[in-house]
Amino acid sequence: MNQILKVDNASFSYNGKEKIFEGINLEVNKSDVLCILGPNGTGKSTLIKCINGLLNLDSGNIFLNSTNISEMAKTDLAKMVGYIPQSHSSTFAFSVFDVVLMGRAPHLNVTSVPGRKDFKIADKAIESLGISYLKDKTYTEISGGEKQMVLLARVLAQEPKLLLLDEPTSHLDFGNQIRTLDVINRLSQNGLSIVMTSHYPDHAFLSSNKVAIMKDGGIMDIGEPESVVTEENMRKTYGIDVKVIDMDDSRKACIPMQIK
């Protein structure tokens, strides 16, 4: 199965008293796309930061390729895991190519500079996402959808085994949401494992083969999208009625109903 990530009985709190989440168990294999759903404040983003080593668990363990991340050097962890947070702002007028090239940082030491190999990898990442036309543009002057593609190119230049995306479509218009999900699908087909959080249950049908619902600091349900994104589970999770319907293209869709 080529297991990439294992989260084993993980718990976390900011103050040592109130648990943000506890007893979390997850497994992600090569080419999996795991979509984590759940209401605000249930710990989705915090869990992503723990997997990335930005926060330390209170208890439990997180393994990457069977190695506990607590035993990994930060540089080795950065080579393994790519991360795009919910929001990213740059106050410096870097070119798009320079932003993508920054993805090579984990592979360089403190005194070295990017070489020919790094430039080629950055170029390849840009070309693979079809954004070569942006290469020489200033990052701060491009659209939100274009920025998301650039950030994806940057993590591709990093050459990780696992990609963490915290609400990757939250600030995008409808078209760019679908384009981003399409890129996620293509990346997983090329062997990259992905964990993403989302507020859109329907996106689970579009881009993932596994879904976990976090609620009240734990995993309420986990499995294939068709068995997890159900009308009953969505009602329990979000407190609203939805309709889950079969589409003509053999996928399901989750549609929220108007609150009466």
pLDDT per residue as tens digits for the range 172-221 = 889 989 999 999 999 999 999 999 999 999 999 999 999 999 999 999 99
Strands 81-84 and 252-256: unpaired
The dihedral sign for the CA sequence 78, 44, 254, 227: positive
Beta strands in 14-93, from DSSP E residues, in sequence order = 19-29, 33-37, 59-64, 67-68, 81-84
The tokens 């997997």 sit on which residue?
Answer: 51
165, 33 Cβ separation under 8 angstroms: no
pLDDT band (50, 70, 90) for residue 91: low
pLDDT per residue as tens digits for the range 17-58 = 889 999 999 999 999 999 999 999 899 999 999 999 999 999
Instruction: Please state the pTM of the whole predicted model.
Output: 0.93
CB atoms within 10 A of CB 229: 27
